[in-house]
Structure 1
Amino acid sequence: MCGIVGILSLSKSIDERKITLSKMLKAQEHRGPDAQKDWHDSVCSLGHNRLSIIDLSEEANQPMHSHCGRYVVVFNGEIYNYIEIKKELQNHFVFKTQSDTEVLLAAYIRWGKAFLEKLNGMFAIAIWDKHEQKLFIARDRFGVKPFYYYQNDDQIIFASEIKSIWAAGISKNKNKKVWANYLSFGTYGLPHETFWENIFQLPAAHYAEFSLLDFNIKPQKWYDFVSRVNSIEPLNVVTLKEQYTELLNDAIQLRFRADVPLGMNVSGGLDSSTLIALIHKNLPSNQKIEAFTFYCNDSNYDELPWVEALLQNKPYHLNKVLLKSEDVPHLISELSLNQDEPFGGFPTIAYSLLFKEARKKGIKVLLDGQGMDEAWAGYDYYHNNSNNIIQGLNSSPVKPEVLLQEFSAFAEKEIYEKPFESNMKNMQYRDIFYTKIPRALRFNDRISMLHGTELREPFLDFRLVELAFAQEDSMKFENGNTKWMLRQLSQNLLGNNIALAPKRALQTPQREWIANELNTYFSDKISQFSKLDFVEESKVNQIWKEYNNGNQDNSFYLWQWINLISIL
């Protein structure tokens, strides 16, 4: 996992692009502390920050050139099945490294854009064809790895993080529609949008090809999730258990492939518990792994007792990382600079500490259990007709009344595709491609890369997601039990106490700390927010006063206000 940057320009000289690219690489150097390289020709510049995970040699550094000299690639991510793809290509190429990057480039040369279908992994890719003067870019199925870009009439600038595009001299202006939607509806933008004007994302599961004759990026979908899941026949319980278990084991085994030490982030929930059990079942005897969890010294929220129970009698050292209220202000500042856009509240802050601790111990790769809830319909709103996008809230998470009318007018409630007959599946589809998964992946990419670590999410293996998603609604929710089929499968791994336990949202004492230990800090930040030119100061102050007087059902809107002030 790494960071990539690039400039394609008709007007900028090589010297100008070298200076700009250097600034871009510097802005995201945390993504790749092991090596930094750049390459330039008359119109194209490519750069790479490397975090060495597979083949630690210098020969595997990027930008990497094809043996024929025609192509240059920069790539961020991991291709977990690169060994299997390499075997398919061994009669056509002589490989000089043990890296997945070289395999990826050879696959592109052999199969063209159709090579994307062969990849099982997370990736953001840019390949420059020197002969045809064309750039090919692509992003993985669920958008695990980021790809941001800016374009005008004579240049395209792209990077793994928005801050690198700002470092190239692009202005930092609010995307008023996305900001208004965030404060009005709690959404984070559509798959191609960011919080910043004229800075876009290549959507997940899309690619684009463009040349000097046409500087307009026109993303094309390469992965048709809807067609694929519609082609999968729903299975009976016995067959589904067999097929899904086989895929689970394979997904875990693929993600053990690394030339550096491994770790895992764990909590006390079903998904994390399943991950621990599968790792214990599949981890090769010559590999060691350490576990990481956070706690806040609050028994109402901490999952430490469950985690300790899960790891009992297992040979994994548990690293317990404490989030303290007095550290939160500094961490908000650090993560706001890191994220470039609004991010999750205190749980994301606490989660970031796990990667910091792992890196201190020399661990570069961590696994976690992201993706099960979306694939198996685990959130309460899938079943209670609330149509929410935030788990576990009884009141509105946002306070759009603080917006001035002229700014509120920029809001356009997002409309999500509903390609399935099942309402549950449509909500799952929304969460996978528009809401839950995109924002969680963005939060997690930044906090892992901030500390030079790679996060792998085996439950987001596309084969697992497709198979679970395609099943009948009754396989996901039965007799009041969410993730019903997964719970049946997990009983053999975990026992009934864990497999049948109700879902617990991963939480911290955010509401309590805001009302008490962090009240002064929040008062100061909310005062700053109230003076922004698009909010009504008196309304902000009134709502903050009501919170302090006990109206504390949720604190999501307060976090929004602090978050926005911190990223400006």
Structure 2
Amino acid sequence: MCGLTAFLRLSGDKTCPQDKIEGASPPDLKSQVDSSLDLIKHRGPDARGQWFSPDSRVGLGHVRLSIIDLSPAGNQPFHDGDDNVHAVVNGELYDYEKIRAELAEGYDFKSDCDCEIVIALYHRYGESFLSHLRGEFSLVLWDAKKQLFIAARDRYGIKSLYYTVVDGRLLVATEMKCFLPFGWKPEWDVVNLRDKAWMYGPSMFFKDVHRVGPGQYLISRDFNAAEVKTYWDLDYPSKHHVYPKTEAETVERVRELLIESVQHRLRADVGVGVFLSGGIDSSAVAGMTAHIIQQGKSLGNDASGKLSNLTAFTVQFDKNSGFDESDIARRTAESLGIDFQTVLLDEETIASKLEDTVWHTETPIPDVNGMGRLALAETARAAGKRVILTGEGSDEHFSGYGDFLWSYLREPDHAWTSSSDAGAQSAEMWEVANEMVAKGVAGTVIKSTDTEAAEKLNNSSIFPRVEWVCQLPFDKWTDRYTRGRPETSFAESFSEKVLADVKGKWHPLHSSQYQWTKSVLANYILRYIGDNIDMVHQIETRPPFLDHHLTEYVNQIPPSLKIKYDTVNRTLREKHILREAMKPFVTEEIYNRMKQPYIGPTQYKKGGPVQKALEALLTESNVRELGFIDWDTVQDNLKKAFRDQNPVYFRSTLGVAQLVVLGKRFGVKRAQDPKAEAVGDGGPTCPCVVS
């Protein structure tokens, strides 16, 4: 787990003067890379390294958090024996010992670090080496002989990787702030903000800044413009294909794959712990970890076999908020015999961590759960841990959200012939589902208002969910700078093959799982309550549910084994197959408990620390400096958020405050209405240009 920055000087960039393409001198480049790494030095306090090509056209920078092989031999960049191939890697690669053994005859390894297998695999398989990597990672590799530049990201987007072009250089880095020392001048992309496109597409809310997508890589040959390619994607069987396994066989295999995934993620030369909530996902991870320790396996660098050395860390919200699960988590920890630590997230803590959460995640998500995750990481670090296992990805695999419930009911499940009713999605089941949603048991489900787009997406509620997350009071002038139909843009962000599969091949449940995984999981969950916030305190988080060996099996499981209807009790049980597979490792309370998402409270006392923190950010000058937010509406929403204790207005208010933080810390200039500029002073005519 580390951080990286890299550059490639491109040839033939017609938008950039030749003198700028020639670029900075080597001392200047070293200074730029150093300054870029300074901005993410918290990600790698143990070592720092740089490498530049002899002609200074390529540069790699790396900061290291030592997890596997703590010796200097594991420091990066890595280089092959011919000093031809060079790489920097951020992340954790599993099965590396097996891969090392297979490749040792043809490659001279210089360390015991897991990440060194990247160059060895590239030597063996060339460009297809990415398919042989298992784990969470981002990386940059340069082959000087072939003049080949590759920047890749793991299959789920657990690790972030951004890119842009500045003065003829392709810049690639773990975090967007790393571009600043290279002369990048960030500008708001108002179109992407209006359409929420940064929540699902490759382009960010800053103009001309993009991210490498999950399962994708960026490649440049001979210093030419880079192109994006896909090496892995989610897939599901035809909804008419009959599932050949029994429920018992499926339960056993899911259990085997999950235990194997957890075992891989317990391998470390440092202390390991778990994040624990009141749900089955993290509880199952804790339970499996305890089980593995009892089988005589090591917990990171601890081979004592003592369950009490396994620590579970839990956020404790206000007991009266309706969001606190710490009592349930405590009972789980006690049943397992493991250590338990709560982290109180009171108003003072939320207010004090608000700005840092936004700066480090680079993600304006209007929830306080990010502040909770930051507090958890801080506590885990203080307890001597560097690796933490988490529960992200379970809901996406096993259908844990209310949005999936409705998708499941849209069509019969022909893949599961053991179903008591081949047309199982009956009127009775719809009635039960509506009752669950009305009571809040399954969470709110938001219907689409774009009929044409909804048809393309097989009537999923995923984009309405994305829209609901980011509700901002835009200024009137921005109305003319939208794509018109945001949900249509969401649909068109997927390939023709995916849209064809969504429409005709996959069951609606699987279609919704795909859409959610590519948007909310990758760009909200894994960013705002994931790696970038955990690494502030040098915590490497590992999600066992996000393992492609598990995914490729679970995606074949029919919908009726993921969501099961109980005809006797008239309930729809989400994550049924997971519950059965994890039954030996969780309490009866957890086994029977309905899904409760990890979100933070939205109601706070008037005049309290949270309101004061928001008021300090949402001054008239700060809001107007954004240029695209309506100040009068912000004032009104702020009052309603605390006077009326209204969660919708609170989230909108928090979202604007987060944009203010980003604008100030990134030094973003005020966005202007281009048409107004053109009339007033002959200014630029393209949308969303800053002044």
* TM-score greater than 0.5 by the shorter chain: yes
Query: Which one is further off, 307-316 or 540-549?
Result: 540-549
SS in 2 for 1:75: strand
Query: Which one is further off, 30-39 or 441-450?
Result: 441-450
Tell me how far 1:399 sits from its aligned partner: 4.4
- Work out whether 1:411 is the aligned partner of 2:482: yes
Corresponding residue for residue 184 of structure 2: 170
SS in 1 for 2:646: coil
Corresponding residue for residue 218 of structure 1: 227
Counterpart contact for 1:332–1:566, Cα < 8 Å:
no
**Counterparts of 1:518 and 1:530 in 2: how far apart (Å)?**
18
Counterpart contact for 1:7–1:44, Cα < 8 Å:
yes
Counterpart contact for 2:393–2:521, Cα < 8 Å:
no
Q: How does 1:248-397 map to 2 (within 5 A)?
A: 248-283=258-293, 284=297, 286=303, 288-299=309-320, 300-343=322-365, 345-384=367-406, 386=446, 387-389=460-462
Q: How does 1:224-239 map to 2 (within 5 A)?
A: 224-226=233-235, 235-239=245-249
CA deviations 1:466-513 (Å, max 9, x no partner) are: 322322111111121111211222333324321121111223333235
Tell me how far 1:330 sits from its aligned partner: 2.3
Q: CA 1:155–1:514 in structure 2 vs 1: closer, same or farther (change >3 Å)?
A: farther
CA deviations 1:247-298 (Å, max 9, x no partner) are: 0111000001111111111111111111111111113251643211111342
Of 38, 42, 66, the match for 1:30: 42
CA deviations 1:130-161 (Å, max 9, x no partner) are: 22222122111111111111125731111111
Counterpart contact for 1:191–1:204, Cα < 8 Å:
no
**Counterparts of 2:194 and 2:165 in 1: how far apart (Å)?**
24
Q: CA 1:509–1:390 in structure 2 vs 1: closer, same or farther (change >3 Å)?
A: farther
Corresponding residue for residue 189 of structure 1: 199
- Work out whether 1:558 is the aligned partner of 2:653: yes
Tell me how far 1:79 sits from its aligned partner: 0.6
Q: CA 1:296–1:513 in structure 2 vs 1: closer, same or farther (change >3 Å)?
A: farther
CA deviations 1:333-366 (Å, max 9, x no partner) are: 2222212331452111011111111112221111
**Counterparts of 1:251 and 1:399 in 2: how far apart (Å)?**
37
Counterpart contact for 2:562–2:575, Cα < 8 Å:
yes
Counterpart residue type for residue 534 of structure 2: S
Q: CA 1:141–1:72 in structure 2 vs 1: closer, same or farther (change >3 Å)?
A: same
Tell me how far 1:392 sits from its aligned partner: 9.8
Of 409, 423, 430, the match for 2:508: 423
Q: CA 1:392–1:336 in structure 2 vs 1: closer, same or farther (change >3 Å)?
A: closer
- Work out whether 1:137 is the aligned partner of 2:158: no
Tell me how far 1:104 sits from its aligned partner: 1.8
SS in 2 for 1:77: strand
**Counterparts of 1:146 and 1:546 in 2: how far apart (Å)?**
36
Q: CA 1:234–1:446 in structure 2 vs 1: closer, same or farther (change >3 Å)?
A: farther
- Work out whether 1:11 is the aligned partner of 2:37: no
Counterpart contact for 1:381–1:391, Cα < 8 Å:
no
Corresponding residue for residue 628 of structure 2: 534
SS in 2 for 1:566: helix
Of 582, 600, 606, the match for 1:508: 600
Query: Which one is further off, 94-103 or 108-117?
Result: 94-103
Corresponding residue for residue 76 of structure 1: 90
Counterpart contact for 1:266–1:272, Cα < 8 Å:
yes
**Counterparts of 2:632 and 2:169 in 1: how far apart (Å)?**
44
SS in 1 for 2:604: helix
Counterpart contact for 2:199–2:524, Cα < 8 Å:
no
Q: CA 1:304–1:551 in structure 2 vs 1: closer, same or farther (change >3 Å)?
A: closer
**Counterparts of 1:280 and 1:148 in 2: how far apart (Å)?**
37
Tell me how far 1:441 sits from its aligned partner: 1.2
Q: CA 1:548–1:207 in structure 2 vs 1: closer, same or farther (change >3 Å)?
A: closer
Tell me how far 1:51 sits from its aligned partner: 0.4
- Work out whether 1:103 is the aligned partner of 2:114: no
Please give the TM-score of this superposition, normalised by the length of structure 1.
Answer: 0.92
Of 514, 524, 539, the match for 1:439: 524
- Work out whether 1:468 is the aligned partner of 2:468: no
Q: CA 1:296–1:135 in structure 2 vs 1: closer, same or farther (change >3 Å)?
A: same
Please give the TM-score of this superposition, normalised by the length of structure 2.
Answer: 0.77
Tell me how far 1:390 sits from its aligned partner: 9.2
CA deviations 1:446-485 (Å, max 9, x no partner) are: 1111111211001111122232232211111112111121
Tell me how far 1:404 sits from its aligned partner: 2.3
CA deviations 1:217-243 (Å, max 9, x no partner) are: 201111132278999956321111121
SS in 2 for 1:170: coil
**Counterparts of 2:255 and 2:82 in 1: how far apart (Å)?**
42
Counterpart contact for 2:366–2:651, Cα < 8 Å:
no
**Counterparts of 2:83 and 2:557 in 1: how far apart (Å)?**
47
Q: CA 1:343–1:507 in structure 2 vs 1: closer, same or farther (change >3 Å)?
A: closer
Query: Which one is further off, 538-547 or 198-207?
Result: 538-547
Counterpart contact for 1:73–1:105, Cα < 8 Å:
yes
Counterpart residue type for residue 541 of structure 2: L
**Counterparts of 1:189 and 1:399 in 2: how far apart (Å)?**
12
Counterpart residue type for residue 230 of structure 2: K
**Counterparts of 1:454 and 1:229 in 2: how far apart (Å)?**
37
**Counterparts of 1:320 and 1:566 in 2: how far apart (Å)?**
29
Q: CA 1:343–1:508 in structure 2 vs 1: closer, same or farther (change >3 Å)?
A: closer
Q: Which has the larger radius of gyration?
A: 2
Counterpart contact for 1:188–1:435, Cα < 8 Å:
no
Corresponding residue for residue 48 of structure 1: 62
Equivalent residue pairs, number: 561
Q: CA 1:530–1:94 in structure 2 vs 1: closer, same or farther (change >3 Å)?
A: closer
SS in 1 for 2:112: coil
Q: CA 1:149–1:232 in structure 2 vs 1: closer, same or farther (change >3 Å)?
A: farther
Displaced runs of 4 or more, over 6 A? 227-232, 390-393
SS in 2 for 1:403: coil
CA deviations 1:301-328 (Å, max 9, x no partner) are: 2211111110114342112111121232
Counterpart contact for 1:192–1:202, Cα < 8 Å:
yes
Tell me how far 1:113 sits from its aligned partner: 2.0
SS in 1 for 2:227: coil
SS in 2 for 1:68: coil
**Counterparts of 1:327 and 1:125 in 2: how far apart (Å)?**
34
Q: Give the gaps of 5 or more residues in structure 1.
A: none
Counterpart residue type for residue 284 of structure 2: T
Tell me how far 1:422 sits from its aligned partner: 1.6
Tell me how far 1:91 sits from its aligned partner: 2.3
CA deviations 1:194-233 (Å, max 9, x no partner) are: 221111111111123213441x120111113227899995
Q: CA 1:397–1:94 in structure 2 vs 1: closer, same or farther (change >3 Å)?
A: closer
Query: Which one is further off, 259-268 or 513-522?
Result: 513-522
